[in-house]
Amino acid sequence: MYELIQLTENSYYIQSPAKIGLVKLNETDVCLIDSGNDKDAGRKIRQILDKNGWKLTAIFNTHSNADHIGGNKYLQSQTGCKIYAPGIECDFTNHTVLEPSFLYGGYPCKELRHKFLMAQESEAENLTADVLPTGFEIISLKGHFFDMVGFRTPDDVVYLADCLSSKATLDKYKIGFIYDVASYIETLETVKTLNAKIFVPSHAEATEDISELAQYNIDTVYEIAEKICSICSEPLCFEMILKKLFDEYSLAMNFEQYVLVGSTVRSYLSWLKEQGRVNVLFENNMLLWKTL
């Protein structure tokens, strides 16, 4: 873990729970794509930098989930590097209580205020094309989170953030976190058509061809949608839908899984409602979902 893997002359990744991109800008300066899940990740990254005599100039965050920005504060305090994050992700990076608050739908209790859902705050600036190193390209990857992006480097490596999961992860857990299902599918359809020297997803193996895995993720989304529609053949409240999905996929309920999977299921229901496949009714002061 935290091994530095070289992909091309200047593009690398650091093997970690969420892969961290590292790109050499010249003989001494490097930038990171994300920073790992916590202060310890930041320390391990700093050790890699020091071992190679590299100076960290900037961190480009793909999005604001805690496992991608957790090393920001430590690395910024140690190196003085700039931090950039796209759109709404910048606000979440600067005010990290927003993530557990969003997931829970209210003030998050202490069981949700931990490093896996709420990173330490860092001083991020808005990511725009003009702050990127020469030859870098921003790739919009909306869907998993609000304004998530990926990056193409000058030597044609594409870092894909969390826009897809590995086949093993999907087979084991089935329901990956999604904020906007329609945008997620659109992003994956676009990713299927991309060409690059190598693709680096955060939670899957680096590969020269991403199309098959992208399609597998798309197929899984549609499978879950069909399952939800089947469950809602009778009017059910959200909690019962969630329970039936957990039972169906043999998931274990805890506070963290409740908010992560629960938020995703609400996103599916919104998408299905907008597609005209489910509707809501109110009975006995309960909101119920029913397949049309």
CATH number at residue 74: 3.60.15.10
The rounded percent of the chain whose pLDDT value lies above 90 is 100
Cα–Cα distances (Å) from 212 to 19, 202, 208, 264, in that order, read 20, 16, 11, 23
pLDDT value of residue 99: 98
CATH assignment at residue 272: 1.10.10
| pLDDT digit string, tens, across residues 67-91 | 999 999 999 999 999 999 999 999 9
- pTM of the predicted structure, to 2 decimals: 0.97
- Tell me 134's DSSP state: T
pLDDT value of residue 248: 96
pLDDT value of residue 266: 98
The mean pLDDT value for 199-222 works out to: 98
Cα–Cα distances (Å) from 129 to 55, 59, 119, 146, 196, in that order, read 22, 14, 26, 18, 20
User: Is residue 26 exposed (0-12), middle (13-18) or buried (19+ Cβ within 10 Å)?
Assistant: exposed
237 and 129, same structural domain? no
> Where among 83, 112, 135 does a domain terminate?
135
> How far separated are the first and last CA of the chain, in Å rounded?
48
pLDDT value of residue 135: 98
Which structural domain range is residue 75 located in? 4-135
Beta-sheet strands, E only, within 91-132: 125-126
| pLDDT digit string, tens, across residues 171-194 | 999 999 999 999 999 999 999 999
| Residues whose CB falls within 8 Å of the CB of residue 78, separated by 6 or more in sequence, listed in order | 42, 46
The rounded percent of the chain whose pLDDT value lies above 70 is 100
The count of domains in the chain is: 2
